Amino acid sequence: MKKKEDMVAAIATEISMRKVEFANEVVETIYFGGGTPSVLSNTEIQFLIDAVYQNYSVTENPEITLEANPDDLSKDRIIQLSKSPINRLSIGIQSFFEEDLKLMNRAHNALEAEACLTEAVRYFDNISIDLIYGTPGMGNDRWLHNVNKALSFGVPHISSYALTVEPKTALYKFVKNGTVAQPSDEAAQEQFLLLVDVLEANGFVHYELSNFGKQNYFSKNNTAYWLGKKYIGIGPSAHSYDGTFRSWNIANNALYLKDIQDGKLPAGKEELTVADRYNEYVMTGLRTIWGVSVSRVATEFGAEFKNYLLAEAHKYIEQGLLALQDNILTTTREGKFLADGLASDLFFVDLE
């Protein structure tokens, strides 16, 4: 427990040390994510939130999210959290099917997934859940069952991602030795489009490639990132962005603690070039309903970038994958699933 106490104290110290970076900003969201933030007690959550309020200007009703997995969220824990400043839960459900959860090596089971949501919706209005599509062996019927099961709980926000096979995981080993089939891109795309149709028919707005929300329930935290707002990441491995520089904290817990105790900010840093910032704007913009503003590209990055963007986008507009309307470039229904690939084709690469 001493290590946990030390980490909480160090995070509070870093919050204070970095207040100068946000001197002219207002904090709109606070997000407890990465690792296992659900191990924090209500007292520790309050302590860290107090540190934010003591050092920053905070909007009147900030979105305060806690990321958790179903096995972390017993009924008692949910009730405890409902009495804390946390006003939004992001729950890593992934699937309501046992075979999918085992394949993904999740710690929770299907019963826990349903049980935690049954309780969570009783105590929280603002809940997001994660669902994974494209898992080997998952047909469209099973995927639709997952989506409809999620809808049955009345959650107002769903984040959904295609399964990726990461090196050094059990799934990677199973795929490599042929025990499990390689996930199919075609099946994933089909399930993605089914998801879009079902959620939009149920009043969700597909506001970002992987995110669907009812009106007034879009993730303010993630939206800030997609719209290029400044953010500060606190704690080991956390990343930050101030509009010009991207920085990151050291990943090693012990080294992080030592640096903070020595009064050093444990951050690496890089300055983004104009091309970097243009590329990032294109990448994030094409993933959202707000798209890429051609006027903003011209104003922020210059005529060369605007002309490049329009020239490179032309063939995809002709193919029906991108649309240009009112000087805003967005993906079409057919182009949504391909948004990241389309964005990379519009990146400006300086060969000098």
The one-letter code for the residue type at 210 is: S
pLDDT of residue 165 exceeding 80: no
Same fold, 26-226 and 274-346: no
Using pLDDT thresholds of 50, 70 and 90, give the confidence band for residue 37: confident
Classify domain 26-226 by CATH architecture. 2-Layer Sandwich (3.30)
pLDDT exceeds 90 at position 291: yes
Neighbours of 214 (CB within 10 A): 17
pLDDT at 352 over 70: no
Every domain of the chain and the residues it spans: 26-226, 274-346
Q: What angle do CA 35, 40, 44 make, to 5 degrees?
A: 130
Mean pLDDT of 250-269: 90
Choose among 276, 269, 290: nearest CA to 227.
Answer: 290
pLDDT at residue 123, as a whole number:
98
CA 327 – CA 264 distance, rounded (Å) = 45
Average pLDDT over every residue of 296-303: 96
37/33: higher pLDDT: 33
pLDDT-based confidence at 172, cuts 50/70/90? low
The pLDDT confidence band at residue 103, using thresholds 50, 70 and 90, is confident
Q: What is the pTM of this model?
A: 0.93
| CATH architecture for segment(s) 274-346 | Orthogonal Bundle (1.10)
| pLDDT of 102 | 87
Q: What is the mean pLDDT of the chain?
A: 93
DSSP of 263-295? T---EEEEEPPHHHHHHHHHHHHHTBTT-EEHH
Does residue 92 carry a pLDDT above 60?
yes
pLDDT, mean of residues 54-74: 96
Q: 243-254 pLDDT, tens per residue?
A: 999 999 999 999
Q: Which two tokens stand for residue 38?
A: 């659900």
Quick one: pLDDT at residue 164? 82
The pLDDT value given to residue 34: 79
pLDDT of residue 61: 95
Question: Are 104 and 171 within 8 A, CB to CB?
Answer: yes
For residue 148, report the phi and psi dihedrals to the nearest 5 degrees. Answer: -70, -35
